[in-house]
Amino acid sequence: MTSTQALLIIDYTNDFVADQGALTCGQPGQALAQPIVALADQMVTAGDWVLLPTDVHTPHDPYHPESKLFPPHNVRGTWGRQLYGPLQDWYDQHRKAPNVWQFDKTRYSSFAGTDLDLRLRERHVTTLHLVGVCTDICVLHTAVDAYNLGYQLVIHRDAVASFDQAGHDWALRHFQTALGAQIV
């Protein structure tokens, strides 16, 4: 594969999106399902990389900083950590493709404590398309790390959401004004 682009579908799980999710952004997150799946279809068909960095936790971990901020969420092996709705179906159909993979992350950024940067550089990826939730938390922290590592950023406005509309709006501005991201 020779694509220099990768789509990162960040934390699009039941706990962050479904009505019964532990930290749901609800309807704004649910509205992303079709745009995310359509973009994943487009990119996988074009031979681009489609990656699914997915938050994972142990409940009440006294050493994890999020344990002080949020209730237990995205616990390994639970319904809450499964990909939300049509994205789970999409992933089940494409999981064996060489340009699709899901991986665990334990911090806001998809780069923190993972081999993401190494894997992207091995594949000569220079441009990252970011979608998922939450715009002002995990998408933002991933974008900041990507910027600091020299990646070009494309943020898909109709494929990011948050449970905090003011934070979402601020993050979209920040992506463009402070990180030089293209907002499409």
Q: What is the pLDDT of residue 158?
A: 97
SS3 state at 62: coil
Q: Taking the domains of the chain in order of start, what are their residue ranges?
A: 5-183
pLDDT in tens, 45-79: 999 999 999 999 888 888 888 888 888 889 999 99
Q: Rounded to two decimals, what is the model's pTM?
A: 0.96
Q: Rounded distance, CA 76 to CA 106, Å?
A: 11
In the chain, % of residues over pLDDT 70: 99
Q: Rounded distance, CA 10 to CA 6, Å?
A: 12
- CATH class of the 5-183 domain in this structure: alpha beta
Q: Are 173 and 136 in contact (CB under 8 A)?
A: no
Q: Rounded distance, CA 10 to CA 12, Å?
A: 6
pLDDT in tens, 14-47: 999 999 999 999 999 999 999 999 999 999 999 9
pLDDT in tens, 81-94: 999 999 999 999 99
Which whole number is the average pLDDT over 147-169?
97
Q: Give the residue carrying structure tokens 């999020």.
A: 66
Q: Rounded distance, CA 128 to CA 181, Å?
A: 10
Classify residue 68 by burial, with Cβ atoms within 10 Å: 0-12, 13-18, 19+: exposed
pLDDT at 135 over 90: yes
